[in-house]
A and B are shown apart, each in its own frame.
Chain A
Amino acid sequence: MADFLICCRNLTKAYGHRVALQGVDLELGRGRIVGLLGPNGSGKTTLIKIFCGLLQPTLGEVTIDGQAPGVYTKSIISYLPDRMYFADWMRATDLFDLFSDFYADFDRQKAMDMCRALGVNPHDRVKTMSKGTKEKVQLVMVMARKAQLYLLDEPIAGVDPAAREFILNTILTNYNEEGTVLISTHLISDIERVLDEVIFLQNGRITLHNSVDNIREQEGKSVDALFREMFRAMPMEGGGF
């Protein structure tokens, strides 16, 4: 087992001339819940997609449990993408069958239990579900795996605040204890109390990586307040009216 679950060295990704990630160095341990925070377009989704092996870095390298993204890392990563990729004529139960075939660590019973707890009828077709319900189904599929690394790209953006709390508790009570959870979001105040540590991403660079308690101790304010402060006086490139 490698010392760090995720290791990045000088990770850089450019889309043509547009640089999305710039020299990212990062080490993440096991058994942590980590917030990946940054304004829109700061590189959160790009970073996660590189971890998943969906994008190739332009420069630098990344290892997950000591290996470059590939067949092995895909078997230990459970990924919640920022948009739905399932066929909408399927029922949630069909999706569970699909995942049972794909992933050895998928626990179908757990998925059914989580559906019941979240008030989702797994026999409904995906296309008849509301946006929030679809998100819940996706989260169920991702959390019902016993993975080492959960990559959750904006898991709570589409659901109402009451469901958010429930979903966070679902994440807290269902992640594998040796597993690390990386959650990207800009809804910081909602998830702050479940996080061990946070990473601030700005214009493709990591500007802060520290534990939530250290930040509160040193700054005397919440991570949410610090985030608002750091990113307030920053108009978007070419911004202004």
Chain B
Amino acid sequence: MEWKLTDDRPIWMQLSEQMARRIVAGQYPPGSKLPAVRELAADAGVNPNTMQRALAQLENDGLAVSNRTAGRMVTENIAAIEAVRRNMARQLAEEFLSAIQDLGYTRDDVMALWKEEEHHG
């Protein structure tokens, strides 16, 4: 997955969100070891200190744990990962509904559109 960085927000926040997305999507499975800070920083083309801050945020959010000997791992707490995943899905749903309502679609229109899309897909 590519890193996407926009201009309007702190870089560490964006990195942290994208790492969280990788974890909930299973790219880094529960209990697995995360790559080293320097490695991730080089991959994203960012400063190691910035990546460090992003990973510290993952720990605050309960998605990662630091282990003195083994380095940083994804949490084994699947419920915590699921909660974050659900939150992301809810946010996506909200964004979708708000955008499509701006187009003048009602809830019924949306359902009809959904069925139509399923048909095509």
Binding site for B on A (CB under 8 A): 31-33, 165, 168-169, 172-173, 177, 193-196, 212-214, 216-217, 220-222, 224-225
Contact = CB atoms under 8 A, between A and B. Distances in A.
A224 B45 contact: no
B108 interface: no
Interface residues of B, number: 18
The A contact surface, by secondary structure, is helix
Contacts, number: 55
A23 B5 CA distance: 37
A194 B9 contact: no
Nearest to B15: A193
B10 A225 contact: no
Contact of A221 (B8, B46, B50): B8
Contacts of B8: 216, 220-222
Nearest to B10: A213
Interface of B: 5, 7-12, 38, 41-42, 44-50, 53
A109 B10 CA distance: 37
Contact of A225 (B7, B42, B44, B53): B7
Given A193-B5, A222-B8, A172 B42 contact: yes
Given A217-B10, A222-B7, A193 B42 contact: no
Contacts of B5: 193
A217 B53 CA distance: 14
A240 to B, nearest CB: 32
B45 A168 contact: yes
A222 B14 CA distance: 13
Given A33-B47, A213-B50, A173 B9 contact: no
B36 to A, nearest CB: 12
Contacts of B38: 173
> Dominant SS at the B interface?
helix
Contact of A194 (B7, B10, B12, B47): B47
B45 A216 contact: no
B67 to A, nearest CB: 21
Nearest to A172: B42
A169 B10 contact: no
Contacts of B49: 31-33, 196
Contact of A169 (B7, B45, B48): B45
Nearest to A177: B48
A119 B45 CA distance: 20
A193 B10 contact: no
9 contacts: A33-B49, A172-B45, A193-B47, A196-B47, A212-B10, A213-B53, A220-B8, A220-B9, A222-B8
A137 B8 CA distance: 35
Contact of A165 (B12, B44, B45, B47): B45
A224 B7 contact: yes
A172 B7 contact: no
Nearest to B38: A173
Among B5, B12, B44, B46, chain A packs the most CB atoms within 10 A around the CB of B46
Given A222-B7, A224-B7, A169 B46 contact: no
